[in-house]
Structure 1
Amino acid sequence: MPSIQNNPNLLVQYLQKPASEFTKEDLIRYIEEREIEIVNFRYVAEDGKLKTINFMVTGPEELDMILSSGERVDGSSIFSYLEADSSDLYLVPRYKTAFLNPFASIPSVDILCSFYDEHGVPLESSPENILRKAQKRFFKETGMTLKMMGELEYYVISPVEKEVESSNNGYHSAEPFTLHETLRVEAIKLIARCGGKVRFGHAENGRFSHCGKHYEQHEIEFAPVDPEDASDQLVIAKWILRMLGLKYRVNVTFIPKISLNQPGSGMHFHFLAEQDGNNCLVESGELTATSLRMIAGVLELAPALTAFANTNPISHLRSMPGQRVPSHICWGKQNRSTLIRVPLGWNNNIAFGAILNQQEQKKTDYTFRQTIEYRGSDGSANPYLFSAALIVGFINGLSDHESVKKADAYFCSDNLFMAKDSPEEDEKKFQRLPLSCYESAKTLENYRHYFEADAIFPKSIINHTILKLRAFNDKDLGENFKTYGENQNLLDLMDDYLNYM
């Protein structure tokens, strides 16, 4: 099977089966035959970063036990909303996520895990379980299957002996005109080896030098997969990029805004819905009612989505007026100034390769590639929680008989970035996103019933999210934004959050 032989995941190659079919016996065989010495249980905690428990492989009985029953952990140290008097959790591995650790000096297999409570049921409030509940509800309501994928932007900060002129023209730059293409290409290779479905990577716009440091922006884009898998590959990708930062002695950061006059970094999410193998977003080259309903449903909840998509004050600095980041609640076709964008698709069945290269070529239907993009989220988001929140928006739109009309009202064909210094006219037509964590918290309080419906988001998670956002005490962030560039406050704030996410 060529697809298995050429799969970059070394476990897939060795076991000769897709990762989705991995069994406990498969992992034991691989670990024993490849003389793996360490098994690492990985999980995503409240801060969205990968945590680790290391197990020494001492024999088949011990290995069988931990793969079968998991291990106990202190839930109150993982999630601050769990009380210490009843916080014991089971950490249970998901076999399909197993990969060979590319950085370990001792041969190690890593496996992502999920949380179970004392009754042996999934922890109601764990991020990956909230996403799973949202997926199940979506399928039950619609009969459609969701796919999602992320675009991960980041900066590489490295020392420079000589400062170069600040420039925002780094988009798709190649060596020797970019310093960190080698790091990016290695990241792509390692993400794929760890099970991620990577499409491509490239240099992004941001590139400047300041105070003896060079700042260079890059992006990695993934392929649409199951929403849980999409979140898995994002957290693994962020870990790999951080680890390569250590290797190359540079700092890799996903901070949403790194300088007032430089491009910010987002973590955009694309989505599509399928039924019987067909893309439900397009038909005969046009957007379907299904896609319009999903768009309208998300935009209706967009003010509250910022509570999951933009989780610290720096997130809101990225979307302030004049920063060329979507900040109004609207959508457009191929319009990067809108919150939701319908990217250019392959709906015309044109054989570009045959036309350009003057060859006979069979026309192929590529409508399966059409996605819809939410452009407002950034690297501070926990991808599991934000994906679940997006799905709540999809369900909202698909259950609303007026959502197609609402989508028409949300449509924007103008370039909203052109009015960056006087957004008043835009605000008359389109509502603006919250300007601070304080505003996001207030909005989530008003919209919480959408997320708590069908017990997708537990009340405890909504309460915790609101309290956490309020704790930033940034109520006046929007009013003070214009003065930040004139003093040290902005630089200090960015330094505080450089490695926060």
Structure 2
Amino acid sequence: MSDKIGKIIAKMDECGVKFVRLQFVDIHGKPKNMAIPLVRPDQIEDIIKDGLLFDGSSIEGFVDINESDLVLKPDPDTFSTLPWRPEEKGVCRFICDVYWPEGKPFEGDPRYVLKKALDKYSHLGYEYNVGPEPEFFILDQDEDGNIIPHDCGAYFDVEPVDQGTDFRRKLVMDLEALNFDVEVSHHEVAPGQHEIDFKFDKALKTADAVITFKQAIKAIVDKMGYMVTFMPKPFFGENGSGMHCHQSLFKDGENVFYDPDTETQLSEEAMYFIGGLLKHAPALSAVCAPTVNSYKRLVPGYEAPVYIAYGLKNRSTLVRIPASRGKGTRVELRMPDPSCNPYLAFAAMLEAGMNGIQNRIDPGEPTEIDVFEKSIPELREMGIETLPSSLWEAYHALEEDDVIKGALGDHVYEKFMEIKHKEWDDYRVRVFKYELERYLDI
């Protein structure tokens, strides 16, 4: 028995663990799990070693019924109790990797997609770090049962206008119990909208953290009698929820993006990485903004990125370079939203950026104007194109981009595209209230 597993067993014994949740995600990033009753804590050693069979044909984007057997193997590094279930202190959780019964990693496991991308570049000495900023809405219902924001607060408001202070305090405390290093929490721009930022970390750990973050927040707020949504644009006329992703590369303990000898203190690698993000932005949007609703957020007028450009400190561009330098030098991609699967999104962003480095893709000069104030013809004269304006445009861009397709792998790409075609077809044939109001008197 390894020291790590020994410490886990000791902690489980201390907490009186009676149930172990084995958690993984489907192709959308939605958590799934099985709960195993434990007679004694040392049972977990066999589960970690041998895994547990499950029916993969029932998980969207996994396998067909004729090849349904898959195996869940817990990652010991993801062991955690569940602080939002205080009345069930006997429950713990592992995030799992998915395997074929013969022992090969399952190509359709989103966590494997990211691990494969990270391994590809770790052999070259690179460590990829991500710091996401997932925004969310806390919701209530009016007397007629309509979903409404739980308060009327705005950016950085305080109580009594900001009614989310107690929510965020509870959320931060429970997230810290899950070993999150929370940096800041505050009310966001829209009524009922909030943001809790946690410190950047290695990409796999961060992707695991995003899934746990969303799961914990939903569970905690539900116990307080409200509802949480990570839907990108729940309310017309209000800002949507993004998940800006701060990215950096390290090598031998040093930030590859930092160069104190250039005017901007950005290295060539940083600039080429930006070039890769910009070049592959249309296809990236299919993975990082993957729903029909995502493109109702990505419109002018609501602080969301629309134009494919980068800028130093400029929050109107798709890619922003925050002012921090040294170890904190990073690139912020502002198109992702919290409906994305973080494992797939991080893998795609890494491949896009590394393609930029490997092919020395020049991003051009930074854009330091407010691009929202320019017309599309003016921007095109400047060489600035727009992101896809719909899921339909985004998945067609993905079809043409071999780099981002390669990041997903054949299995995930084919399943993802099949699902997105169906999602778009389902959306486009529906008749909405807006259409009745606009066209009924024709």
Q: TM-score, normalised by structure 2?
A: 0.89
Is 1:295 the counterpart of 2:278 in the alignment?
no
Q: Which residue of 212, 216, 240 maps to 1:236?
A: 212
Report if aligned partners of 1:442, 1:466 keep a CA contact under 8 Å in 2: no
Deviations 1:334-387 (A, max 9, x none): 111100100121x4xxxxxxxxxxxxxxxxxxx212221100010110000000
- Cα distance between partner residues in 2 of 1:413 and 1:475: 40
- Cα distance between partner residues in 2 of 1:305 and 1:250: 33
Change (3 A) 1:305 1:237: same
Deviation at 1:388, TM superposition (A): 0.2
Is 1:134 the counterpart of 2:125 in the alignment?
no
Is 1:262 the counterpart of 2:241 in the alignment?
no
Give the paired residue count: 425
Is 1:34 the counterpart of 2:15 in the alignment?
yes
Range moving further from structure 2, 243-252 or 60-69: 60-69
Q: Which residue of 377, 380, 390 maps to 2:339?
A: 380
- Cα distance between partner residues in 2 of 1:341 and 1:384: 22
Deviation at 1:243, TM superposition (A): 0.6
Deviation at 1:175, TM superposition (A): 2.2
Is 1:196 the counterpart of 2:180 in the alignment?
yes
Deviation at 1:140, TM superposition (A): 2.7
Change (3 A) 1:239 1:144: same
Deviation at 1:160, TM superposition (A): 6.5
- Cα distance between partner residues in 1 of 2:3 and 2:396: 44
Q: Secondary structure at the match of 2:293?
A: helix
- Cα distance between partner residues in 2 of 1:277 and 1:475: 48
Is 1:450 the counterpart of 2:400 in the alignment?
no
Deviation at 1:139, TM superposition (A): 2.4
Deviation at 1:400, TM superposition (A): 0.8
Q: Which residue of 163, 172, 176 maps to 1:179?
A: 163
Change (3 A) 1:474 1:331: farther
Report if aligned partners of 1:437, 1:472 keep a CA contact under 8 Å in 2: no
Could you tell me which residue of structure 2 aligns to residue 25 of structure 1?
6
Q: Which residue of 91, 94, 98 maps to 1:108?
A: 91
Q: Which residue of 367, 370, 373 maps to 1:418?
A: 373
Q: Secondary structure at the match of 1:467?
A: helix
Deviations 1:466-489 (A, max 9, x none): 222222336998xxxxx9968669
- Cα distance between partner residues in 1 of 2:152 and 2:245: 24
Any gaps of 5 or more consecutive residues in structure 1? 1-20, 208-215, 348-366, 478-482, 490-501
Q: Percent identity?
A: 26
Deviation at 1:130, TM superposition (A): 0.6
Report if aligned partners of 1:22, 1:96 keep a CA contact under 8 Å in 2: no
- Cα distance between partner residues in 2 of 1:204 and 1:268: 14
| Cα RMSD, aligned residues only | 2.6
Aligned ranges 1:355-394 → 2 under 5 Å: 367-394=326-353
- Cα distance between partner residues in 1 of 2:180 and 2:312: 28
Could you tell me which residue of structure 2 aligns to residue 7 of structure 1?
none
Paired amino acid for 2:409 = P
Report if aligned partners of 1:321, 1:423 keep a CA contact under 8 Å in 2: no
Change (3 A) 1:423 1:324: farther
- Cα distance between partner residues in 2 of 1:301 and 1:34: 47
Runs ≥4 residues deviating over 4 A: 164-169, 474-477, 483-489
Is 1:87 the counterpart of 2:40 in the alignment?
no
Paired amino acid for 1:418 = E
- Cα distance between partner residues in 2 of 1:167 and 1:54: 36
Could you tell me which residue of structure 1 aligns to residue 189 of structure 2?
205
Could you tell me which residue of structure 2 aligns to residue 272 of structure 1?
248
Q: Which residue of 124, 136, 139 maps to 1:157?
A: 139
Deviation at 1:199, TM superposition (A): 1.5
Q: TM-score, normalised by structure 1?
A: 0.79
Could you tell me which residue of structure 2 aligns to residue 309 of structure 1?
288
Q: Secondary structure at the match of 2:339?
A: coil
